[in-house]
Structure 1
Amino acid sequence: MNREEARLELDATTLRPQDASPEARAMAESDPELGAWLEKRTAFDEQVAEVFAATVPAGLRESILQNARKPARRPMRWMIPTLAAAAAAIALGWTLLWPVESNMPGWQAESLAAVTKVEYGVSKVHLSRDFEAIKKMLVADQSPAPEHLPGKVGAMPVLACKCIKVAGRSASIICFEIEPGKEAHLVVMNNDGMSNVPPQLQPQFKSCKNWNMASWSDGKQSFILATRADEAALKKLFGLA
């Protein structure tokens, strides 16, 4: 079993870890990157399960089982209301966890969507504890690396990075540890020709769902720093708390 095979097996059994093979579980324990991914993915699936459990219509399980026991010759239309209710509950669960809002500028919405996937372990990242090495890697990949960072933003322990596209342009995500067990994700992009650019050297703060964000520009680069840590921890990085 290779790492990708183990990842696929673990991904299918996050809520039933006992169903994963001993080999896959052992690989997650011995491979730090795979173990970190599994921890995030499990936490996300558990959150979705909790929301789903709270939004499932009353009697849905019984209705599904009852329809499943009906003779096969019964038309499929008998199942449609039941399946529609299940789909609606799942969609509602995702909506409650998804922080992107319709009134956000396009670049901000796309950045936060990419960050959310990284936070919950559904998007792969390049792990590294060396900030200078990360910046060199981003430059080599022709992705933007931050030229200047305010306050203590660049002093946080670095964890990982990822090259993405935002509003059709190259962008980068750099993941930091803002507090023990909590991450802050920095998105950086070139703002040439970009609309709704955040102000120069003056962070704007915004909260949505359980996320807190700061966005600002520095010359030709614009940034968004998003975290699930509280607002005070975020503002402290800028010397504002």
Structure 2
Amino acid sequence: MILEPAVLEALRGRLIVSAQAYPGEPMRTPTTMAQIAASAVIGGAAAVRVQGLADVQFTRSAVEVPVIGLWKDGHEGVFITPTARHAIAVANAGAHIVAIDGTRRPRPDGLDLKTTITMIHEQTHALVMADCGSLKDAFNAVEAGADLIGTTLAGYSGEREKTQGPDLDLIAAIAAAELDRPLIAEGRIHTPAQARAALDAGAFAVVVGTAITHPASITGWFDVALRA
């Protein structure tokens, strides 16, 4: 399906769940990620976010909510759907929304953000979510044609300090700028209270990943608390 404005509007004030596992982990299979995404939808997720072409394909078959897809290639710099080629492949795999690095850093294929987004729009039916790290990134991403703005890279792109929880100041600053794009809060949101705080700071919707879908991290939090 093409993501109509009414469907996107249905995400307002809602939870988006990111289902991802790291390479080498037992859960790092497309079928498992799709099952976790489907379980999240049962729990109330209004959309899901998954990584990898196969994960997008399996998840599209498992859920009836919008799927945000991305393709991580590498571990440093621009690695979240880093090129137009990656983005178009994610869209063709079935993602309704393609999440890409939305920072102002140089991209591996040498294209600027505007050219990349234009190519995605012209060659696919997908919307584009720009994962930003700063207010300047957000302004630039809107100018480049992004359909949604995310705070995913706050604290990871070198422009802002990494906050203990979500970067509420950045969320509030982007919301105050009234950029006329849905603002998706993402990054280090580990509790329902933090999710609510992100929404209250001006987010259109909130993405939670690790705290819901990554057992290794969650177990580690409890283990550290007990050993302290």
Q: Identify the structure with the greater strand proportion.
A: 1
TM range (shorter): under 0.3
Q: Find the structure with the greater CA-based Rg.
A: 1
Whose RCO is larger (CA < 8 A, sep 6+)? 2
Normalised to the residue count of structure 1, the TM-score between the two structures is 0.26
